[in-house]
Amino acid sequence: MINWFPGHMSKTLKQMQSDSKLCDCFVYVLDARCPMSCINPEFLKVVKDKPIIYILNKADLVEKTAIDKFKKHFNALGSECLSLNATVSGNSKIIIDAINKIFKSRLEQNKLKGANFITRAMVLGVPNSGKSTIVNNLCKKARAVTGNRAGVTKSKQWIKVSDSIEFMDTPGVLLPNFDDEEKAYNLAIVGSVKDEVLNLVEVATRLIARLNAIDENILSSKYRVDIGENTQNIGTLSQIGKKRGCVVKGGEIDVERAAKILLTDFRTGKLGKICLE
């Protein structure tokens, strides 16, 4: 089983619970490729009964039918759910619009009084879900540290994103314990768990199994491998390694290098628009 919950995550959770009283709402960023796996029950202690806006980020990597399905699910919970690709300039503006809609009456009342009401939102999510990228998109400049890997944001950051809205960007937090193996591997596959603590060959073979269950043509068309020849996913990974030149001295296949290639291709969308759930 995957288990990665470094000390800073426990500290972050406690700090988030303390800081939540300063916030009016929460922006919950989910990876659109596995949104349900991104749900952390520990965040319920942070959010309590305040409004949540769910963000299906990296929506460009998933088919629209899947996006619509998850939007319907979160809307049924009584929450706003938006989809976007935060790497595209200006895309995150819809979050500002959603927050202003939630607090419309309070904003209007304060305007009549000549007061400027500042809405404060805390950004939640697992590592590498795109929280800081969304904040930077809203600021139109790099205010928050970003990176296409888990564990980049190290501490909370208050950032003004408009005249009336401030965001608290927080480090990504995983579940203290993964009771659901499938969800754990989903997060590993999309890059929410540090590659350095994983057996990447195991993660890659799990991905192969998921992809073949969705459509056996995904891998065969990308790498020109014969899926039917292999009764085990490690065999498919070896074929991919051979096709991509991962051959070491003696003609053996470097399956770990092949695993990195496969995972990178999936994470960057080179295998197509795919939802793991």
Distance, in Å, from the CA atom of 194 to the CA atom of 268, rounded to the nearest integer, reads 16
Ranges of CATH 1.10.1580.10 domains, the chain = 199-267
Residue 113 has pLDDT above 60, yes or no: yes
Q: What is the pLDDT of residues 70-90, one digit of tens each?
A: 999 999 999 999 999 998 888
Q: What is the mean pLDDT of the chain?
A: 87
pTM for the structure as a whole: 0.88
Q: What is the pLDDT of residues 20-48, one digit of tens each?
A: 999 999 999 999 999 999 999 889 889 99
Residue 7 has pLDDT above 90, yes or no: no
- Is it true that domain 199-267 has CATH number 1.10.1580.10? yes
Mean pLDDT within 231-244: 89
Q: What is the CATH number of domain 7-169?
A: 3.40.50.300
Based on the number of CB atoms within 10 Å of its own CB, is 22 exposed (0-12), middle (13-18) or buried (19 or more)? exposed
At residue 47, the pLDDT reads: 93
Share of the chain above pLDDT 70, in %: 89
Sheet holding 165-169, edge to edge: 80-84, 52-57, 25-31, 119-125, 165-169, 157-160
